[in-house]
């Protein structure tokens, strides 16, 4: 190599280092505060940040935006954007105890016995009408949601707030005290859940939940302490069509630069195909929930979009309706569970983008055991032997209905159902008839207990094993699923585990509960998903962490050259330099 060539290489290396420094600086400075409207630079053109972003989704509000009733992913997404809790989870963290950060509370203490939690509240926080937020609003929210309404299918009943919280007292305008029935290890994580968000007493009646009101977004939500206000909510023929979120001028953290984007428009699409077309054509800036696995892989090859991958704590599972014979028999349920083929499901439907799951507690979470591995995958010998005792064979097959939702609430539900049908029928002794309904009808069917077997999914309310056990396998917590499973031994194990603060003791109890779970098999865990979002290349601030929360207020986009585009501008200089003769 000539001296001249060596000199060029050395200079190029120096420029690469400069580029890396610019990239790091651009990333770091964009994180803690809102980006400026314009940034003057000496070389590349200025950066201009958009004031409006459009998100596309196939999801929808399940029931309402009232934290006393809402118990679905998208409803919680809007509650989190329009409300606030006492504490929050640090974005991008593992959601451990050290990752709990102040929100409406600035500090807190717990008694030595774990039964009394004292929160000191942020001062100067105001509701949308200018009324100051106080401890009385915290007490009102929990008294209303937990003790007065206690909606059977709401999150407070599903999570078991009433078993955890004994009472709430406003000690002063700036201090509130929670008295617990039991020491509850993940209490701070529970306080960060959207079901613990504070409502405006003027907008949230004590005797009923706040429902959608056509043409009046303000009357359709009791939330207004968050980074956004819900300024528009349009439904067509009973289905969500469009929402608009506008920056809340009274937001307590507006001085921190949030929200980064003043206006968010959410458009609802009928299926994954139309959502994919919307992001690829530039109709939306963000596509989130639900895109097909094949589309995600294909979009990774496109230069006009960016694919974001995050940690997955989402699970899906197969539920048995135990009031319908012969599904009241645990041996028959185990025989069906043994015929499920998880690897084929995850590899063919999700192209390896999800993982087989053998417990309700996700892989990687404390308390997880692979309890269902004892039944195997496509273990047809076990299935045939177990069902033969009850007269089922190739000439007298066990005939069952398998239901799935058809409206994009879960990822690729029709494909999931097709693979499950194939794997169950592969035993030679089971015959499946597939049935489907859109999500609103599916929920009604579930609540009316008319579906024999049905597929459901779960995103965590709070990141702890308790939230994957109590809402499903406890006779009270699992009542919202309507599967009629009730085992006092299971209730006792779960009750003990949620009252323990020692990690080793909790894990031992969860191991026992999961062993019992595999014996009773009221539910069959199927897979654990991965979080995906697709955006235009100029979008930043997307965080897909274990909390599974979508944080609208962190997301932004550039209209002019973004920091990375400035890096591209520098890179072009290197290219020209290196190719000069």
Per-residue burial over 122-148, b if 16 or more Cβ lie within 10 Å, else e, is beebbbbeeeebbbebbbbbbebbbee
Q: What angle do CA 439, 444, 445 make, to 5 degrees?
A: 95
Q: Give the model's pLDDT for residue 96.
A: 87
94-102: long-range contacts, CB 8 A cutoff, minimum separation 24? 94/545, 94/546, 95/189, 95/463, 95/545, 95/546, 95/547, 97/188, 100/188, 100/189, 100/192
- pLDDT for the residue 97: 87
* pLDDT value of residue 334: 98
Query: What tokens appear for 11 in the block?
Result: 């200079």
268 neighbors 61 (Cβ within 8 angstroms): no
Q: What is the pLDDT of residue 29?
A: 35
pLDDT of residue 572: 41
SS3 101: strand
Q: Does the predicted TM-score (pTM) go above 0.75?
A: yes
* Cis check: omega of the bond before 315, within 30 degrees of 0: no
Q: Are 547 and 464 in contact (CB under 8 A)?
A: no
Between CA 315 and CA 508 the distance in angstroms is: 22
132 DSSP assignment = B
- Per-residue confidence in pLDDT tens, the chain, 581 aa: 444 444 444 544 444 444 444 444 443 333 333 444 444 445 566 678 899 999 999 999 999 999 999 999 999 999 999 999 999 999 999 898 899 999 999 999 999 999 999 999 999 999 999 999 999 999 999 999 999 999 999 999 999 999 999 999 999 999 999 999 999 999 999 999 999 999 999 999 999 999 999 999 999 999 999 999 999 999 999 999 999 999 999 999 999 999 999 999 999 999 999 999 999 999 999 999 999 999 999 999 999 999 999 988 999 999 999 999 999 999 999 999 999 999 999 999 999 999 999 999 999 899 999 999 999 999 999 999 999 999 999 999 999 999 999 998 999 999 999 999 999 999 999 999 999 999 999 999 999 999 999 999 999 999 999 999 999 999 999 999 999 999 999 999 999 999 998 989 999 999 999 999 999 999 999 999 999 999 999 999 999 999 999 999 999 999 865 444 444 434 443 343 343 33
Residue 209 in contact with residue 151, Cβ under 8 Å?
yes
pLDDT of amino acid 42: 54
- The residues, ordered by sequence, that sit 6+ positions from 5 with a Cβ below 8 Å of its Cβ are none
* Cis, peptide link before residue 92, omega less than 30° from 0: no
Side-by-side strand order, sheet with 523-528 = 355-356, 523-528, 315-320, 453-458, 398-405, 430-437
How many C-beta atoms lie closer than 10 Å to residue 503's C-beta?
11
């Amino acid at each position: 190599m000539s001296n001249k060539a060596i000199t060029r290489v050395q200079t190029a290396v120096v420029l690469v280092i400069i580029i890396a420094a610019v990239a790091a600086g651009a990333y770091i400075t964009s994180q803690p505060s809102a980006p400026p409207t314009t940034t003057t630079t000496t070389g590349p053109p200025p950066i201009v940040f958009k004031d409006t972003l459009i998100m596309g989704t196939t999801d929808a509000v399940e029931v309402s935006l009232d934290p006393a009733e809402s118990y679905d992913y998208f409803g919680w997404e809007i509650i989190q954007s329009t409300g606030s809790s006492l504490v929050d989870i640090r974005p991008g963290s593992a959601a451990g105890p050290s990752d709990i950060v102040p929100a409406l509370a600035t500090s807190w203490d717990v008694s030595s016995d774990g039964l009394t939690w004292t929160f000191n509240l942020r001062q100067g926080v105001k509701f949308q009408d200018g009324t100051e937020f106080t401890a009385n609003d915290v007490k009102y929210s929990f008294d209303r949601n937990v003790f007065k309404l206690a909606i059977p299918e709401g999150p407070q009943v599903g999570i078991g707030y009433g078993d955890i919280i004994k009472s709430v007292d406003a000690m002063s305008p700036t201090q509130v005290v929670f008295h617990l029935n039991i020491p509850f290890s993940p209490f701070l994580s529970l306080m960060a859940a959207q079901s613990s968000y504070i409502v405006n007493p003027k907008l949230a009646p004590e005797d009923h939940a706040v429902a959608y009101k056509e043409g009046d977004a303000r009357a359709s939500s009791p939330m207004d302490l968050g980074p956004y206000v819900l300024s528009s909510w349009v439904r067509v023929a009973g289905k969500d069509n469009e929402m608009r979120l506008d920056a809340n001028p009274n937001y307590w953290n507006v001085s921190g630069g949030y929200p980064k984007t003043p206006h968010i428009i959410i458009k609802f699409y009928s299926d994954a195909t139309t959502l994919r077309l919307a992001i690829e054509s530039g109709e939306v800036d963000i596509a989130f929930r639900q895109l097909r696995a094949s589309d995600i892989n294909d979009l990774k090859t496109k230069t006009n979009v960016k694919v974001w991958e995050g940690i997955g704590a989402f699970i899906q599972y197969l539920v048995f309706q135990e009031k319908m014979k012969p599904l009241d028999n645990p041996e028959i349920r185990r025989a069906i569970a043994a015929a499920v083929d998880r690897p084929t499901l995850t590899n063919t439907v999700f192209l390896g983008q999800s993982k087989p799951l053998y417990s309700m507690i996700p892989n990687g979470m404390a308390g997880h055991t692979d309890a269902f591995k004892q039944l195997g995958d496509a273990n047809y010998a076990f299935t045939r032997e177990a069902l033969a005792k009850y007269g089922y064979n190739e000439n007298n097959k066990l005939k069952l209905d398998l239901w799935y939702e058809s409206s994009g609430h879960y990822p690729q539900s029709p494909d999931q159902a097709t693979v499950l049908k194939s794997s169950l029928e592969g035993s030679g002794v089971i015959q499946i008839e597939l049935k489907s309904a859109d999500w609103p009808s599916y929920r009604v069917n579930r609540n009316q207990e008319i579906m024999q077997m049905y597929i459901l999914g779960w995103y965590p309310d709070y990141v702890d094993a308790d939230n994957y056990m109590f809402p499903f396998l406890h006779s009270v917590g699992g009542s919202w699923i309507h599967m009629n499973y009730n085992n006092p031994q299971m209730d006792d194990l779960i009750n003990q585990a949620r009252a323990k603060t020692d990690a080793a003791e909790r894990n031992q109890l969860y191991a026992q509960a999961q062993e019992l779970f595999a014996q009773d098999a009221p539910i069959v865990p199927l897979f654990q998903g991965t979080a995906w979002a697709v955006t235009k290349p100029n979008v930043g601030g997307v965080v897909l962490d274990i909390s599974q929360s979508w944080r609208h207020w962190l997301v932004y986009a550039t209209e002019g050259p973004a920091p990375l585009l400035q890096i591209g501008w520098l890179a072009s200089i290197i290219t020209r330099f290196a190719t000069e003769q």
